[in-house]
Structure 1
Amino acid sequence: MTLKDLTKPWAAFNYGFLDESAKRELRRKMLKAVAVPGYQVPYASREVPMARGWGTGGLQATLTLLKPTSVVKVIDQGADDSVNAVSIRKFFARVGGAVETEDTQKATIIQSRHRIPEEKLREDQILVLQVPDPEPLRAVQPDMSIAREMHGDADYGQLWLVLYEQLVKSGRIIQGSSYPSMVNGRYVISPSPIPRWDVKKLHQADHLTILSAGREKRIYAVPPYTNVEPLVFDDVPYRVEDHQDKTCYRSNVTGFFMNELPQDDGSSRHELSDSHFGVKQIRRNEGEAVEIAKTWYNNGRMD
């Protein structure tokens, strides 16, 4: 036997990089995830030209949804211009002929790591969230077979206990990103490592959200107009990050999620986490006619 016998003849890659069998499976699993909101559907995660843990789940979901008319935006912790975001966006353009954009309103598919855009999404847009750890019960139940049974029984008492312990020890719930949330009154999900600020954007949203974990081989969804309720006690309201009084030093905009930038003198400056939303604001301040869609928050509060 020779090396030539073990190799296949050269052929161009399939449209959207993934083979048709992989895309058919992912489409079926997405449909099941939409039909049972919040339920983690297992799938055979394929190899893609990216290391596990760097967004392979989101990459596979987007490649499955891709078509020649797609307009794709990729976000990496709010930024459109990071190395990871730019590389993934150019990959979609190369393997699927998709149009690249940084404008939330122009995109038909938005793949994101750790953030949901500040501008509201429409019914004709799909949000794909990269998920490193889809299991909200992992911290209280490391045995995944038992965790699956707990989901089946809607047994989330241990999660409530964790939140109660945080209240007792710290006087407030200190859970930051990946805040456990009930979807459609049935399944508790880990809504990706998005901040608490973004969790409320999933509730009764106009758009479809697909959450995909390539390393863990799980996919789940939040369909449009579905209830997403963070786990909170009746007498302890849900609190988002207190950014109401923070002002972006570049765009002079107040009342949105900010990145803190430590300075050499020990002080801090803040800038909008949603980078292209900040660019739009700067261009508007300079007198350009820029269209900015309605936002989820107004002066630091959900409308």
Structure 2
Amino acid sequence: MSLATLTKNWEPMSYGFLDASAKREIRRKMLKAVAVPGCQMPYASREVPMARGWGTGGLQVSLTLMNPSKRVKVIDQGADDSVNAASIRRFLARVSGAPTTLDTLEADLIQSRHRIPEEKLREDQVLVLQVPNPEPLRPVQPNMSIARQMHADADYGRMWLQLYEQIVRSGRVMQGASYPSLVNGRHVMTPSPIPRWDVPKLHMAKHLTILSAGREKRIHAVPPFTRVEPLVFDDVPYKVEDHGGLTCNRSGAKGFFMNEIPQDDGSSTYEISDSEFGVKTIKQAEGERVEFGETWYTDGEMPS
């Protein structure tokens, strides 16, 4: 045996950019996160060619899950063509050789910032959500040591008090994005800064969701067919954004989550947040053959 037989030729970087040790650790922590839904798992967040706070957590999970046959889709607040989404998608393809797509139905891995696609995800798809702040107790308990003890004791009284104070002061719950949700009846998590519209999409979903915060070095997960229940009082039901009656100015799609675009005269127009769904709607109107998947919402209502 010689030293040459135990080594391999030098390469500029590992497959998928991250080294094997980093991938092993992230895989172990993802397995733990799946085993204990909603519970935050610490990991040694590595440096990637992107500034902290711009999706490094989601990028590391995606790099760990990538292979040359896994088709990837990256969206940023619903858009596939934003600078952040396009840069991450190009980087993933370059370091893994994996094909890319804009169509939700074609994707095997979907990395997203702040949105879940309007079309339902399948059992064989994985959703990776970028999370800037994974700790739901931070607004009520800034001391993270005490916050983690509160998670261990399932002590979420302060969160209920916060929601109660919002109702008393404003007449309704003012929490918009990152609505605190109870996972599998045990841990409260922050489901990334997705709008209230998207939170019900995680409840008993067929797909696996991995949420990763690179700056905070935390991973948590929602396995398939897991209960995700927003914190609500029995007499104050959970409400999503009232977008059911809005129509997209460009595509004509109706009954989905919209982006409001203020106009010079003080009025507003609306465009569907899921840009690729809007593109498919336009193509269908122009006579092209387009395949649509089943959507979570119909006319702004989610079937119970």
2:110 match: 110
Corresponding residue for residue 28 of structure 1: 28
What's 2:277 paired with?
277
Cα distance in 1 between the residues matched to 2:268 and 2:143? 42
Q: What is the alpha-carbon root mean square deviation over aligned residues?
A: 0.9
- SS of the residue 1:297 aligns to: coil
Q: SS of the counterpart of 1:99? A: coil
Structure 1: distance between partners of 2:230 and 2:250:
32
| Aligned-pair CA distance for 1:10 | 7.0
1:81-117 deviation per Cα after TM superposition (whole angstroms, max 9, x unaligned): 0011001001011000010110000000000000000
Listed one character per residue, the Cα deviations across residues 59-87 of structure 1 (whole Å, up to 9, x for unaligned) are: 00000000110100000010000011001
After TM superposition, give the deviation of residue 287 of structure 1 in Å.
1.2
Match of 2:154, SS state, is coil
Moved beyond 4 Å, runs of 4+: none
| TM-superposition CA deviations, 1:16-69 (whole Å, max 9, x none) | 000000000000000000000000000000000000000000000000000110
Q: Does 1:120 align with 2:120?
A: yes
Partner-residue secondary structure (3-state), 2:220: strand
Q: Which amino acid aligns with 1:27?
A: R
Paired residues, what number? 295
CA distance in 1, matches of 2:248, 2:27: 40
Aligned to 2:259: 259
Aligned to 2:185: 185
Distance in 2, matches of 1:109 and 1:10, equals 30
1:5 corresponds to which residue? Answer: none
Q: Aligned residue for 1:52? A: 52
The separation in 1 between residues aligned to 2:10 and 2:128, in whole angstroms, is 32
The amino acid across from 1:154 in the alignment is A
Alignment of 1:1-303 (within 5 A): 11-303=11-303
What is the CA distance between 1:286 and its match in structure 2? 1.0
Q: Distance in 1 between matches of 2:224 and 2:143?
A: 32
SS in 1 for 2:38: coil
Structure 2 Cα separation of the partners of residues 38 and 184 of structure 1: 8
Question: Cα offset for 1:288?
Answer: 1.1
SS of the aligned residue for 2:197 comes to helix
Structure 2: how far apart are the matches of 1:280 and 1:176?
A: 28
| DSSP 3-state at the match of 1:116 | coil
Cα distance in 1 for partners of 2:161, 2:119 equals 35
Tell me the distance in 1 between the aligned counterparts of 2:294 and 2:142: 41
1:254: how far off? 1.0
Normalising by structure 2, report the TM-score: 0.96
Q: Percent identity?
A: 74
Q: Deviations over 1:239-283 (max 9, x none)?
A: 000001110011111100000011111111000000000000111
| Amino acid aligned to 2:236 | V
- Compute the displacement of 1:11 (Å): 3.5
Residue identity opposite 1:89 in structure 2: R
